[in-house]
Structure 1
Amino acid sequence: MAVDGTSGSGKSSTCRGVATRLGLRYLDTGAQFRAITWWMLREGVDVHDAEAVAARCDEAPIVSGTDPSGPTIEIDGVDVAVAIRSDEVTRHVSPVSTVPAVRARLLELQRAIIEDATTDGGIVVEGRDIGSVVWPQADVKLYLTADTEARALRRAAEQGGSDVAATAQVLAERDRIDSGRATAPLVRADGAVHVDTTPYSLEEVIDLVVGLVLEAGS
Structure 2
Amino acid sequence: MASTARAAPLVRVAVDGPSATGKSDSAQQLAQRLGFLYVDSGALFRALALALSSKLLPASNPSAIAAYLTGPENPVPRIQWTFPPGRIMLNGHDVSLAIRTDEITQKASEYAVLPAVREALIGLQRHIGVDDPNVRGVVMDGRDIGTTVFPDADAKLFLDGDVHVRAARRVRQRRQQMAAAGDEKLFDAAALDVVRVAEALAARDYRDRTRPQGALACAPDAVVIDSASVTLTEQVDMMEKAVRSRLACDATLL
- What interval of TM-score do these two structures reach, taking the shorter chain for normalisation? over 0.9
- Amino acid of the structure 1 residue aligned with 2:18: T
Structure 2 distance, partners of 1:20, 1:178, is: 28
Which structure has the greater CA radius of gyration?
2
Alignment of 1:1-218 (within 5 A): 1-58=13-70, 59-60=74-75, 61-67=78-84, 70-113=85-128, 115-116=130-131, 120-160=135-175, 162-218=192-248
Asked if structure 2 preserves the Cα contact closer than 8 Å seen for 1:131 and 1:141, the reply is: yes
CA distance in 2, matches of 1:56, 1:210: 40
Instruction: Measure, in 1, the Cα distance between the counterparts of 2:131 and 2:168.
Output: 36
CA distance in 1, matches of 2:15, 2:129: 13
Q: Deviations over 1:132-176 (max 9, x none)?
A: 011111111011001011111001111227011110111111111
**Equivalent pair of 1:25/1:117 in contact (CA under 8 Å):** no
Q: Deviations over 1:57-100 (max 9, x none)?
A: 35112111243xx2111111111111000121012111111110
Higher deviation after alignment, 48-57 or 72-81: 48-57
Residues 117 and 123 of structure 1 are in contact (CA less than 8 Å); yes or no, is this contact kept in structure 2? no
Any runs of at least 4 consecutive aligned residues in structure 1 with deviations exceeding 6 A, and if so which? none
Instruction: Report the residue type matching 2:56 in the other structure.
Output: G
Return the offset for 1:117.
6.1
Structure 1 or 2: more helix by fraction: 1
- Decide whether aligned partners of structure 1 residues 111 and 198 sit closer, same or farther in structure 2, where only a CA change above 3 A counts: same
Change in CA separation of 1:118 and 1:174 when aligned onto 2, cut-off 3 Å: farther
Moved more, 41-50 or 180-189: 41-50
Please give the TM-score of this superposition, normalised by the length of structure 1. Answer: 0.93
Instruction: Quote the offset at 1:118 in angstroms.
Output: 7.8
**TM-score, normalised with respect to structure 2:** 0.81
For the aligned residue pairs, the C-alpha RMSD in angstroms reads 1.6
- The alpha carbon displacement at 1:114 in A equals 5.0
- Distance apart, 1:20 and its partner CA: 1.0
% identity of equivalent residues: 38
CA-CA distance at 1:120 after TM superposition? 2.4
Paired with 2:130 and 2:122, the residues of 1 have a C-alpha distance of 12
- The letter for the 2-side match of 1:26 is Y
Residue 52 of structure 1, CA deviation: 2.4
